[in-house]
Structures are given as structure tokens and as C-alpha cells.
Structure 1
Amino acid sequence: MKKEYHIFKFNKTAHTSLWTTVNDNVMGGKSSSHFSLNKVGHGVFEGDVSLEDNGGFASVKYRFNALDTAGFSKIILNVKGDGKRYQFRIKDRATNKHAYISYFTATTEWQHITIYITDMYPTFKGQKLDLPNFNASHIEEVAFLIANKKEEHFKLEIAAVTIE
């Protein structure tokens, strides 16, 4: 029997108040983004990345009570985008400075992207850390980030984030 758990499944009545945007303006940059539900009930992360004032990233994160990762090996992202490259990020402790990441390109068609948890590697401020890949027993945060070292408008639709 396949074991799966929806970290978040969007629908028209989903409560998205725990999804928060964090942009480079925390470090003086000028990027902007917002997160909302569209008419069909998908989460929409949209905005503009600016390189002005040493900026260059926009992100949205979702924090939750610790989810035990025992018995799970992968995360499935059900997303549709704009052909741009994004980072998917997890944290075992929401208070950690570093995150474990994986890259994906969001096509203009709906897709299921599989990310193996143990392939996710630690980074901080865009730098890979000399630490092991993800091997913790739980997750407390997931996030999406765009930082392609160029000014661009972006739009990522999210239907679900599932762990299997």
C-alpha cells in the first residue's frame, strides 16, 4: 500500500494564512511577490524579481507542526508555471538558518515533480554547506524560491505538496 500525506492540498476554501512571502527586501532588495488562491483553488505565487540594491530573490514558505518523515522518501509537487527555474526548500526545524533544496523547472502544463528527500542538500544564502544531505526525522517548513540572477516576472501555480 502506497503511503502518502498531503503537506498542503489547495482548494477553493483552503486556509492559506500560514503561507508567507519573504523577498530580498529583508536585505535591502526591491523584489516583490504575493501569494493567493485563484478562482479554481490553486495557490498562486507571483511577482517580480529585481536585481536592484543587491536583490534577486522572492520566496513563499509554509510552516507547520513537525511532520514525521519516517517511511517517506520523496516529495511530489503538483505545479504549473512559466518555464522558469525554481527552488523547492525544506527545513527540519523552522528556526534553522539553512534549508535543504532541490531545483525544478515549472513548465506551462501541469506536472508532478518528484524530489527524493535524501537528494536535497543544505544551503545558506545561496551557498552549499559542508553538511550531509537531508537525513532528519521530520520537516517543519516547505518553501518555493526563485533566484535566477536576472530581473523577471514569475508565476507559479501550486495544486499540492505531497510526501510519499
Structure 2
Amino acid sequence: MNQSPTTIFNFNKDSDISAWNIVDDRVMGGISLSYFELTEDGYGKFHGYVTTESNGGFSSVDYNFDKLQVSPSDKIRIKLKGDGKTFQLRVKAFAGDRHNYIKEFDTTGERQTIEIALSEMQPSWRGAKLRIPNFDKDQIRSVTVLIANGKKQNFELLIDSIKLVK
């Protein structure tokens, strides 16, 4: 029996996005700069400029939430509109984890629905793949969208919703 998706975050004109946090490579001396805001149409807009100068090269936006029970076979479904660039979806199982589980996705410039099985998400820490299994936990505590394509570029991603699909 299929359950209806669990909403992690649904953007609309009245959304409170204060729990979303920008983390750019500035934390390690880089100079990339990004922003996260609510558009007049009610989308979460993640945009900015990424550069590899000063040993940088990434921008991200994080959303932490209360523990959400999951199974590795569950999927994260994101409705979005990107600018044709490649982004990463990242999840953390536990608040104290240093590593993330990541999966890249490509955007087309059109509205899309991206679905990523948690079990496809690979463990990573600071961009390095770890020698532990792909996501195999029973909970998640955060989602992150990150861009790090190894070049200087502007970017824009409009997010409509993020849901967990059983």
C-alpha cells in the first residue's frame, strides 16, 4: 500500500524560511556568495556566484528538522526549476554527523521533479567519498542543496517542495 508523501518543506508565499541556512566556502577562506529567499510566487530561491578562487568552490543551503523516520528504499522528491547546472542533494542521518550522504542531479532550465532513492546516496565528507555503505539509516535530520562544479559560475535554483516518498 502506497502512503502519501511526507512533506519535508513546501514553499509558498507565506513560508517561514528562517530555518534555512546558507553555508558557502567562506567558512574555509573561499569567496563564493549565495542567497536564499522567498520569491513573490512562493518559491525558495537559492542563487549566487560560485568560484574556485581562494581555495573555494561551493555554496549550499541547509534545512535542519526534527528526526524523520525513513527507510533506505524511500526517495526524496524535489519539485524545482534549475538553470541547467548540476547540483547535489545531501542528507544527514544524525545531527552530530560530520559526513553527508550525497547524490548529484542535473537541472534542465524547465520545471522538474527529481526523485532520489536514499539508498543511492553516497557518503561524503568535504567532497571525498568515504569507505562506508551508501545510506542505510532509519532517520534523517537535514537536507542540503549544494553546488560545486569546479568552475566560476552564477547559479539559480527555484524550489517548490521537498518530500519523502515511501
Preserved contact between residue 83 and residue 108 of structure 1 (Cα < 8 Å): yes
Pairing of 1:22-37 with structure 2 (within 5 A): 22-37=23-38
Aligned amino acid, residue 11 of structure 2: F
Partner of 1:137: 138
SS across alignment from 1:53: helix
The answer for unaligned runs of 5 or more in structure 2 is none
Q: Please state how far the C-alpha of 1:72 moved relative to its aligned partner.
A: 6.0
Is 1:88 aligned to 2:89, yes or no?
yes
> 2 CA distance for matches of 1:139 and 1:9?
17
> 2 CA distance for matches of 1:32 and 1:109?
24
Preserved contact between residue 72 and residue 138 of structure 2 (Cα < 8 Å): no
Partner of 1:103: 104
Preserved contact between residue 72 and residue 119 of structure 2 (Cα < 8 Å): no
Q: Please state how far the C-alpha of 1:2 moved relative to its aligned partner.
A: 2.7
Preserved contact between residue 72 and residue 163 of structure 1 (Cα < 8 Å): no
Preserved contact between residue 72 and residue 137 of structure 2 (Cα < 8 Å): no
Partner of 1:156: 157
Q: Which runs of 4+ in 1 moved over 3 A?
A: none
> 2 CA distance for matches of 1:13 and 1:95?
31
Q: Please state how far the C-alpha of 1:40 moved relative to its aligned partner.
A: 0.7
Preserved contact between residue 81 and residue 109 of structure 2 (Cα < 8 Å): yes
Taking structure 1 as the reference length, what is the TM-score of the superposition?
Answer: 0.97
Is 1:15 aligned to 2:11, yes or no?
no
Question: Can you list the C-alpha shifts for 1:77-116, whole angstroms capped at 9, x where unaligned?
Answer: 1010100000000000122110000000112111101101
Taking structure 2 as the reference length, what is the TM-score of the superposition?
Answer: 0.96
SS across alignment from 2:27: helix
Q: CA RMSD in A?
A: 1.1
Preserved contact between residue 119 and residue 135 of structure 2 (Cα < 8 Å): yes
Partner of 2:128: 127
Q: Please state how far the C-alpha of 1:128 moved relative to its aligned partner.
A: 0.4
SS across alignment from 1:113: strand
Q: Calculate percent identity across the aligned residue pairs.
A: 43
Partner of 1:45: 46
SS across alignment from 2:110: coil
> 2 CA distance for matches of 1:8 and 1:20?
14
Aligned amino acid, residue 86 of structure 1: F
Partner of 1:73: 74
Preserved contact between residue 94 and residue 140 of structure 1 (Cα < 8 Å): yes
The count of aligned residue pairs is 164
Preserved contact between residue 122 and residue 133 of structure 1 (Cα < 8 Å): yes
Aligned amino acid, residue 113 of structure 1: I
